[in-house]
Amino acid sequence: MCGIIGITSSKPVSSSILHSLKKLEYRGYDSAGIATIDNGIINEIKSLGRVDVLEKNISQINLSGEVGIGHVRWATHGIPSTINAHPHSNENISVVHNGIIENSVILKKSLINKGHKFKSETDTEVIVHLLSEYLKSNELNNAIIKTLNDLDGSFALGIIFKDMPNIIVGARRGSPLAVGYGPNENYLGSDSYALKSMTNKITYLNDGEFCIIKKDEINFYDYMGNKVNKKILQLSTNEQNYEKGEYKHFMAKEINEQPLTIKNCVNEYIDKINNEINLHNFPWKKENIKSIKLIGCGTAFHSCLIGKYWFEELTNIDVDIDIASEFRYRKNRFKEDCLYIFVSQSGETADTYAALDLCKKNKMKTCSIVNVVESSIARDSDFVLPIHCGPEIGVASTKAFLGQMMVIYLLCLKISYLKNNIKKSDYNKKIKNLDLLSEKVKKTIFDENQIQTISNTFSKAKGSMFLGRGFSFPIALEGALKLKELAYIHAEGYPAGEMKHGPLALIEDGMPVVVVAPKDQYYKKTISNMQEVIARGAKVLLVTNKDDDQIVSENIWKKIEIDTVEKDLYPFLTTLPLQQLAYYTALKKGFDIDKPRNLAKSVTVE
């Protein structure tokens, strides 16, 4: 989950590399470094901590050079330290790496026996020594091919050479890598976001490919060294959504962008004149889809879980869900009539991509729901459904979660209608209800004063529980995840009916418990479970919809009321106060909200 950048130019590159590294900090931020080539010498500077620290250190020296590479790290092998920070260099080669080299221990032993001396604890350093060894008796392309063949695991690499001071080598297996084209300079980066301020002309390396980049020429090669031609993509140059603007944090901005997320998604997929959901170029006949499997990680998995409830409620299709990191290691029984749906914000999530790759190898039907349409998962899927929510920079996902849910819901509605599982009148009504959702989301978000007060109690808690039934159970899981991610408070999401089967033992006097209970078919049962928690001394925060109700106990600590909507749509509203609760609790505790500890945005390692 590291970020890499490389630039070869006709002018000094260190300032441009620093600018790109700041954009890449969502991929890692425990250390950073830059290496450039100047006058036949590799100049390297590395710092523990954020890119700001690196920038201060660089300002004290003159880091010149027209070819360079940079890196922000999310530690895998070796603790965060200056020595373990990238780039890793010897006198001839400097390397930046995103991924994991799984056979690094074996390779390291072999290289030590040949006289190589290692400085760091990282797996990456073996690449430096391995490539140096092969360059003793091979020209560049063959040395690259031999090195890549020896590596097990995943990688995106940027490499510079003292004796070839005008080139950068990029290579990819598993981890994403983009190449950018500019006037008299060219670029290498983990993704288009890092390159977008410099160019909107991008090419992506496919698995197994490598490239040799000069300031005025780029050549691409397959894993055997054969030249390949690549398509250049023209990306939007709009940078507005990449800045915080008036907001203190990207997460605050992205929470407040959720009404627009819903509106954009609805506008993209719904033909309002004909009151119809359009899934253009859907490649399969309805009779050829008899089951569905939804696959994702983290927040994306929670959207899959909500999707399971929707598909069960609205269709007669068999539906299952899977955590991507478990999927590829199980003995899967692939079915030709199953549609495998992969959900990922970045479209680069390593576990999800590996699950997709396994399905492709078994010739299954694959569909991806992603935010980045140029991503690896999108490019390798048979069919892509973008969520249209714009860049999401904050590590804790908010608007992408709503976008994922919306696209899954629209797909569910469409399949339900095509298979005659829902009446035309009900189908039309549900589509029209979506037109009102954006305003209801907006109204819910702006009612936040109460949540700021409630966050005081959560900021002092050592643990909490989030409970829900039906559609609200995945929202409870997501609420607990947000509190863990941002406020570093132990939080459990649980089915409300399961409390008495063990977790009730955790409840103690004053413990904050969130109960998600909109007035749907599960409401009365959830309220009964809530009473059990109150009886054990918990301080219950009830999230429900506005209504006159005599069932709710007067012993409730706090209540947050959302608007009443069709029961299918409650997840879009109940998740909002939980996002805000996590945000304000973390704010009260003084934590870095956009960059929570130990986490990164795009999880590109297994």
The angle, 0 to 180 degrees and rounded to 10, between the axes of the packed helices 125-135 and 104-113 is 50
Q: Low-confidence residues of the chain, pLDDT below 50?
A: 239-240
Strand 93-101 to 88-89 pairing: antiparallel
What amino acid occupies position 381?
S
Domain boundary (442, 458, 473) is at 442
Q: Does some domain include residue 317?
A: yes
Strand 41-48 to 31-38 pairing: antiparallel
| Cβ atoms of 180 and 81 closer than 8 Å | no
- pLDDT of 604: 52
Same domain (yes/no): 275, 341: yes
Q: Which of 94, 58, 112, 234 minimizes the C-alpha distance to 168? A: 94
- pLDDT of 449: 81
Same domain (yes/no): 66, 171: yes
Same domain (yes/no): 31, 170: yes
Same domain (yes/no): 311, 432: yes
C-alpha span between 89 and 606 (Å, rounded): 25
Same domain (yes/no): 180, 66: yes
CATH number at residue 31: 3.60.20.10
- pLDDT of 552: 61
Active-site residues: which are they?
2, 601
Q: Cα-flanking dihedrals φ and ψ of residue 87, to 5°? A: -70, 160
- pLDDT of 149: 95
Strand 383-386 to 490-495 pairing: unpaired
Same domain (yes/no): 437, 540: no
Q: What is the pTM of this model?
A: 0.80
- pLDDT of 61: 83
Q: Does some domain include residue 494?
A: yes
Q: Does some domain include residue 602?
A: no
C-alpha span between 362 and 149 (Å, rounded): 24
- pLDDT of 502: 85
Q: Does some domain include residue 598?
A: no
Domain boundary (397, 422, 442) is at 442
For residue 92, the cross-strand partners are: none
- pLDDT of 239: 45
Same domain (yes/no): 407, 263: yes
Q: Which domain holds residue 399?
A: 243-442
DSSP string, 443-495: HHHH--HHHHHHHHHHHT-SEEEEEE-TTHHHHHHHHHHHHHHHH--EEEEEE
Same domain (yes/no): 305, 366: yes
CATH number at residue 515: 3.40.50.10490
Same domain (yes/no): 195, 68: yes
How many domains does the chain divide into? 3
C-alpha span between 315 and 311 (Å, rounded): 5
CA distances, 1 to each of 100, 179, 204, 600, 602 (Å): 10, 18, 18, 6, 6
Same domain (yes/no): 190, 64: yes
Same domain (yes/no): 362, 381: yes
- pLDDT of 549: 62
Q: Say if residue 530 is exposed, middle or buried (CB neighbours under 10 Å; 0-12, 13-18, 19+).
A: buried
Q: Does some domain include residue 601?
A: no
Tokens of 129: 């020594």
C-alpha span between 571 and 368 (Å, rounded): 21
Q: pLDDT tens-digit profile of 114-152?
A: 999 999 999 999 999 999 999 999 999 999 999 999 999
Same domain (yes/no): 196, 333: no
Q: Does some domain include residue 605?
A: no
Q: Does some domain include residue 597?
A: no
Q: Does some domain include residue 595?
A: no
Angle, alpha carbons 592-595-600 (nearest 5°): 155
Domain boundary (202, 237, 272) is at 237
